Structure 1
Amino acid sequence: MAAPEEAVPIFLDKHVNFPNGRIYELLQPLTNYRSCHDGTPQEARIVFLCKETEPQPLQDDFVMKIKVQLPWEGQTPQEGPSTTTAAEIKALEAFRDAKAVFAPQLVAFHQTVQDNRGPLPGGFLTFTVMTKMPGQSLFGKYWNMTQQEQDDIKSRATEALRSIYALGIEPVDRGLRNVIWHSETKQCSIIDFELWNPINGTFADEKNELQRWGLLRTPVAKDHWTAWNQMHR
């Protein structure tokens, strides 16, 4: 579901000009504008569906993630990008170079500074354009699906995750919200790589990995410490 139009920050223009001559038009927000606390410096983000209009209009829609530095606890304007943006760009580049079909690929990146309309004039404003994965997030849907559909998703998700691990990337932000399923083609994709660990190998316990993504039910833990270990081990 798209975010409401009033969620669009006033400091964003409808058309974003990139130094290489590309121009992307913001179509609709896919998330609300909100602060995020995983990276540094402190920032906020919003995600849009967009399309390229110059140098020639393209039929394909893309996803644009916009990050903006916030005036948090007296921090001064910085060029950026944030640590999470830098990490995601590196992952998206790896997927692009591998021609991956199970995760977004980097299309374009642009970095500038906020003008006087922004929350921290002179602070960074970054635009990351990536391919749009087919299908919908499984958040709020997966556990209402048939057993056959769930089995298909678990099988394809395992294939996607093993392919991602094979590129040396272990996703950290696990959850059904970041699992995209296209029922017609039975394609499963993983999104959101702001947080990931470099890895040499893959997961040994398929059941545990699926549980961490919310694709398989986890037995009720006997205490809070055990529950924490089940999620983070």
Structure 2
Amino acid sequence: MTPPWPVLVSFATHMDRDGPVQGHMRYYKQIPIEGTEAEPPTTRAEQAKFFCPIELKHLRTLTQKGSTITPRVLDSKEDKQDNTGFVPGGFVTWVVWEVVPGLQLGNDVGSAPFWGLGRDERDAVRQAFQESICKLEIWGHLPYPEHAKNLVWDSTTGSLYYVGFLLTCKGDPRAVWSPAKWAGWGLAKPPRGCRDWDKSTEGWEL
């Protein structure tokens, strides 16, 4: 089956008991196997599959656990395409999650937004990260890639959020804290040539 990539990303406004909440919405829809797009609907219907997006699965679990370090799932709908769909009976899924407040600490090319903060605030980010990362490991899944682009820092509350669960990597419940995690996520810079954590941050750029 052709990978069921999300086909639409947009903003949505969700109403809850506290009033309007800004959210992101992603829309997944099964598409036909390449080369079968012109086949009769009955033939394409044979490709119909059930699919639960990874981000829905994990954000839903984290929301149920009462996580305050990841976005809440605001709404979702899992449905099937009708007889006029690309794949009759195939999956179509909507996922809506909240927009968390703050500064995204990285992008596809690095963690420049993080390094643009003052030293005291960078220290606060690292402290919040140290206090939360192992909790996320225990809960089972981390956003992929493990980097600053998947971190959002709210300086007004001192809150650090983990975002970007379109792709995930498995957490390790036995994980223990190490400053090497700072470096892995782009929150610290070991000296050039320092390839392994040697139990000392001497010479690191913090």
Structure 1 length normalisation: TM-score?
Answer: 0.63
Which deviates more, 157-166 or 105-114?
105-114
The separation in 1 between residues aligned to 2:33 and 2:14, in whole angstroms, is 33
The separation in 1 between residues aligned to 2:155 and 2:188, in whole angstroms, is 19
Structure 2: 5+ residue runs without aligned partners? 37-43, 107-111, 197-206
**Match of residue 170, structure 2, among 197, 210, 218:** 197
Q: Determine whether 1:211 maps to 2:178.
A: no
**Match of residue 169, structure 1, among 141, 158, 161:** 141
C-alpha deviation, 1:74, in angstroms: 3.9
Query: Which residue of structure 2 aligns with residue 94 of structure 1?
Result: 61
Q: 1:117 to 1:49 in 2, by over 3 A?
A: farther
**Match of residue 81, structure 1, among 38, 51, 56:** 51
Query: Which residue of structure 2 aligns with residue 182 of structure 1?
Result: 154
Q: Determine whether 1:111 maps to 2:73.
A: no
Per-residue CA distance 1:62-96 (angstroms, 9 max, x = gap) = 222222345564476544426xx1x3223212211
1:137-176 equivalence runs, <5 A: 137-139=104-106, 140-176=112-148
C-alpha deviation, 1:115, in angstroms: 7.5
Structure number with larger C-alpha Rg: 2
**Match of residue 63, structure 1, among 24, 35, 40:** 24
CA contact (8 A) 1:42 1:72 kept: no
CA contact (8 A) 1:113 1:121 kept: no
Structure 2 length normalisation: TM-score?
Answer: 0.70
C-alpha deviation, 1:218, in angstroms: 4.2
Structure 1: 5+ residue runs without aligned partners? 1-39, 228-233
The code of the aligned residue for 2:51 comes to P
Per-residue CA distance 1:153-186 (angstroms, 9 max, x = gap) = 1111222212212323344421221100111111
Query: Which residue of structure 2 aligns with residue 128 of structure 1?
Result: 95
Secondary structure in structure 1 of the residue aligned to 2:12: strand
Per-residue CA distance 1:187-214 (angstroms, 9 max, x = gap) = 1000122312153222x35222111211
Q: 1:214 to 1:73 in 2, by over 3 A?
A: farther
CA contact (8 A) 1:178 1:191 kept: yes
Q: 1:44 to 1:176 in 2, by over 3 A?
A: same
Q: Determine whether 1:48 maps to 2:15.
A: no
Q: Percent identity?
A: 21
The separation in 1 between residues aligned to 2:31 and 2:188, in whole angstroms, is 38
The separation in 1 between residues aligned to 2:17 and 2:159, in whole angstroms, is 29
C-alpha deviation, 1:43, in angstroms: 1.5
